[in-house]
Structure 1
Amino acid sequence: METQSIEKSQRINLGAGRVKFSDDAIKKLNYVLSGLFMLTAISYFINYMEKEHELGRHFFTSFIYIFTALLFFLKARIELSSTSKYAPHFMISDDFIKVKTGVFKKSILINWNDIKKVELSSYKIGIKDKTGVQYYPYQTRKDTSIQIKRAIEEMATQKGIEVENLLRK
């Protein structure tokens, strides 16, 4: 049943955050920066091979550049990916809402049957259930935030769940 609803669900990625450039441009920039840091690491290593002195400093500096290159590469491949399960996203289906607000944060699956009320705020979604209100803050572009809120509001009204838009007050 869950795989059926995942197929019918709407996935909205949060992207690179509140930046004015497109996700594709940010992804390409991360790849370029990764390549530049890798080239710098290689040049430091070649410099060591030619001069053969200060071994520790050259290896440490090369290691730092390689590590930084990997961070930029992984950010582009994981966080900015439209298909990665680790990328921050909202998934709205007929049966549940899945919330993942960060790469290292655990995804939260909320069944529509458990939801009593939905609160929409500026870059934050509040969901009230039996245990109380839980807020899910996120960072994304304005248009993506509006898209998330519209999708949640539409599904909540279909389910007969009260939706309170705190931005209109």
Structure 2
Amino acid sequence: MEINIDNRSGRELPLEHIEALAAFTIKESGLLEGFSGQQFDRIELSLSFVDTDEITKLNGEYRSKPQPTDVLSFEMDDFLELAQTDDAAANPGEGASGILLGDIVINPDVAEKHAVIEELDLEEEIWVLVIHGILHLLGYDHMEADEASIMEELEDRLFNAWLEKTERS
């Protein structure tokens, strides 16, 4: 598993813990294990931490909302196409040994404001956002109430499992 982290936020962040959380979330979600009958030799994810100006620009460009946000997820089309077909199962080993999940962009400044509201420290709020972003890349959404309920339940389960693993509960 390859997790690329780029910190352009101007803040010092616990990048090793964040990388470990991302790997844990992908593994524990169970969605990629044996997906369409495949085992993936390589899974790649990109995480970027950016300042408020950069996330505002990205949010305006990609979501037509020129305002700061806490997290943006950009899934890769190849994974979504694979998720909707059985081609990988019909042709084991052909072109499906590696996937690029996508990119997650997080703004620690907005995350810090949310952390105060949620009564979490900044690191824990960033963990929530990493889990949230990965779940989006894996196909989860929260636009409809039933989808939101499923996503939030999995998000909570993964967050609590991570807290237990890191003994922060």
Larger radius of gyration: 1
User: What TM-score, normalized to structure 2?
Assistant: 0.26
User: What TM-score, normalized to structure 1?
Assistant: 0.26
Which has a greater percent of strand? 1
